[in-house]
Structure 1
């Protein structure tokens, strides 16, 4: 088997309008498609990053909370590659998003930080070489 790349990650949100605003306005993801699935009382919003990878944002009525802390088994976080960590952190902070202090990856020497989406999903900014 030879996997080519990550196509998408799917996220279920508790407040569709709030999460749509966060992922489009604050994170700057481009809307590819938005569909109401009336039979499921659910929206499906396809969002694209600059490299073509996507996030599918779903809404469902009253989704159960997913444990995140202490560390639960399963997907831990989503990481976004950035060229300039400091400017991206400043942009998040200007929009009122709390950002953790910068850490350094002990194996690569690259800087990174964490923040959360409106439902507390851990998101990471990982600085790549320019």
Structure 2
């Protein structure tokens, strides 16, 4: 019997500098904070579900690009005691990148270049299925998380 999941709730991005990453995702990429930025002590229960021992102090924000606060969101976290950093590529096992739909890739590309965000690859036009083009470019967030920006021309 299948799991029964019906949609992706959230993705989690752990960052090294909370303010820098919050600015990147909100000011540069246009996300909005659901509710407010908050701090909490990650107790044993929270750390247990993450498979980490001991507690930790966190700053967090739930971010969305939707007008619906119950839509899929990005959980941005920074742990006070930090953690390791692993440089990733799109070939690495596990969650390799996050994809964001944009309305106008040329305008998005001009905006990110104006703000010094390095482009990893693209822009290119892909046709993953007959008749369904995607204009695509990949960038990195301040900690190196790969983000693919995609325009769906047929949905303009």
Give TM-score scaled by structure 1 length. Answer: 0.88
When structure 1 is superposed on structure 2, of 94-103 and 10-19 the one drifting more is: 94-103
Aligned mates of 1:7, 1:62 — CA distance in 2: 25
Q: Is the 8 A contact 2:89 2:96 kept in 1?
A: no
Of 111, 114, 120 in structure 1, the residue corresponding to residue 138 of structure 2 is 114
Alpha-carbon deviation of 1:69? Answer: 3.1
Q: Provide, for residues 64-112 of structure 1, a one-character-per-residue CA deviation record: whole Å limited to 9, x for no partner.
A: 1134137321001000012211111111111111223312224243210
1:23 aligns with 2:25: yes
Aligned mates of 1:82, 1:70 — CA distance in 2: 20
1:93 aligns with 2:113: yes
Alpha-carbon deviation of 1:2? Answer: 4.4
SS at 1:37 equivalent = strand
SS at 2:139 equivalent = strand
C-alpha RMSD of matched pairs (Å): 1.8
Q: Is the 8 A contact 2:59 2:77 kept in 1?
A: yes
SS at 2:122 equivalent = coil
Of 9, 12, 25 in structure 2, the residue corresponding to residue 10 of structure 1 is 12
Structure 2 gap ranges (5+): 43-55
Counting only pairs closer than 5 Å after superposition, residues 14-93 of structure 1 correspond to structure 2 as 14-32=16-34, 33-38=36-41, 40-50=56-66, 52-60=71-79, 61-69=81-89, 71-93=91-113
Q: Is the 8 A contact 2:90 2:97 kept in 1?
A: no
Structure 1 gap ranges (5+): none
Shift in CA distance, 98/67, structure 1 to aligned 2, threshold 3 Å: closer
Q: Is the strand fraction higher in 1 or 2?
A: 2
Equivalent residue pairs, number = 130
Pick the structure with greater CA Rg: 2
